[in-house]
Amino acid sequence: MIEARALTKRYDEKVAVDDLSFTIRPGVVTGFLGPNGAGKSTTMRMMMGLDRPTSGSVLVNGKPYAQHAAPLNEVGALLEARAVHPGRSARDHLLALALTSGIGRPRVDQVLDMVGLTEVARKRVGEFSLGMGQRLGVAAALLGDPRTLILDEPVNGLDLDGIRWIRALLSRLAGEGRTVFLSSHLMSEMAVTAEHVIVIGKGRLLRDQPMADFIREASVESVRVLSPESARLAEELRRSGATVKGGDRADEALTVGGATSREVGTIAARAGITLWELAPQAGSLEDAYLALTRDSLDYQDADQELAS
Ligand SMILES: Nc1ncnc2c1ncn2[C@@H]1O[C@H](COP(=O)(O)OP(=O)(O)OP(=O)(O)O)[C@@H](O)[C@H]1O
């Protein structure tokens, strides 16, 4: 369990994390979403005691991280800046971590196996691909068999196989009753990985809800209609309160908002209008996420987005 209460971090004039309060529960995978610079890494660093809150607090399994007697058994983390000696083998890297924390050798082989690195355990870490490096980072996080996992962008650098693997691993760990918290700036990825979502923008809390609710709210339905009498159909639909786009040419499809496909079909039938096509369209999750976070982009990022 992770509990943030009015958590705030200021760097001089810049407020990186602004009065965040939330509870991350065990047993489900919780996604932490926000555009670049939203404050995700800063929040996660404060969870791990690597940064001090300016005000407010964050507790992991009931205590500030630093007050745990055996922190590796409480919290495993994969944070952006990884300190791995490139000349060491994966196994030696994990052994060094294990020995300084009183964790036995058998656990090192166990976690190497869990992340699929057994075959390359003796290879120098400096020769690892980005994806293998991510797997090693996850292995290190799992070393203490922690109740809580905090992973900053774990999907970064993984190919499709790697993404599927980490998704399955995280859901298994949550299924064992652990708290699993991971950040990403990709909505589409999070939608299939996390059951609960926390969205922040400019350090502020924007959403804290089950992923299914976020997806339901995001997918505002519209209906695509093609008719040889699109102008007359558009008029009938508008009269019934729907919004209509398109249909300037007779054979151009209409996009109808505020009415279901059944209602559109019924209105057309009553007016004696032929329909060639009637198709409900799901709203895009990515669009809904962008709309939610657009106002909280840094000016610099917003400029970059406009330029791209
Ligand atoms: N040490 C620091 N000194 C000054 N400003 C900082 C420092 N660390 C972070 N910031 C600022 O705080 C804000 C939040 O940064 P943070 O790295 O937490 O965002 P993020 O959501 O993790 O973004 P990204 O997805 O790009 O990693 C940014 O505007 C960043 O420039």
Interval 230-282: pLDDT, tens:
999 999 999 999 999 987 777 789 999 889 899 999 999 999 999 999 998 87
Taking residue 64's Cβ as centre, other Cβ atoms within 10 Å add up to 14
Pocket probe mutation, ligand 1, options 7, 41, 298, max atoms within 8 Å of Cβ: 41
* Residue 249, Cβ density class (10 Å: 0-12 exposed, 13-18 middle, ≥19 buried): exposed
Ligand 1 centroid vs 292 CA: distance in angstroms?
Answer: 20
Q: With 60 as the cut, is the pLDDT of residue 304 above it?
A: no
Mean pLDDT of 101-107: 89
At 307, the pLDDT band (50, 70, 90 cuts) reads very low
Give the residue, by CA position, lying nearest to ligand 1 atom 31: 37
Q: Which atom of ligand 1 is nearest to the CA of 51?
A: 1
Ligand 1 centroid vs 241 CA: distance in angstroms?
Answer: 46
What pLDDT sits at residue 298? 55
Ligand 1 centroid vs 16 CA: distance in angstroms?
Answer: 6
Q: Which atom of ligand 1 is nearest to the CA of 43?
A: 18
pLDDT digits (tens, 9 = 90+) for 216-244: 777 667 899 999 999 999 999 999 999 99
Q: With 70 as the cut, is the pLDDT of residue 303 above it?
A: no
Q: What is the ipTM of this complex?
A: 0.94
Q: Which atom of ligand 1 is nearest to the CA of 38?
A: 21
At 186, the pLDDT band (50, 70, 90 cuts) reads confident
**Integer CA distances (angstroms), 157 to 22, 193, 197, in order:** 29, 16, 22
9 lines ligand 1 (CB under 6 A): no
Q: With 50 as the cut, is the pLDDT of residue 106 above it?
A: yes
Q: 203 — alpha (psi -120 to 50), left (phi > 0) or beta? A: left
Q: Which spans in 89-247 are helix H? A: 90-100, 105-114, 130-142, 160-175, 187-193, 211-218, 230-239
Residue 229: HSE in the Cβ half-sphere, 13 Å Cα cutoff: 12
What pLDDT sits at residue 302? 45
Pocket probe mutation, ligand 1, options 9, 12, 13, 14, max atoms within 8 Å of Cβ: 14
pLDDT digits (tens, 9 = 90+) for 150-177: 999 998 878 888 899 999 999 999 999 9
Q: Which atom of ligand 1 is nearest to the CA of 9?
A: 12
Give the residue, by CA position, lying nearest to ligand 1 atom 30: 37
What pLDDT sits at residue 217? 77
What pLDDT sits at residue 213? 87
Polymer length of the chain: 308
Ligand 1 centroid vs 77 CA: distance in angstroms?
Answer: 18
14 lines ligand 1 (CB under 6 A): yes
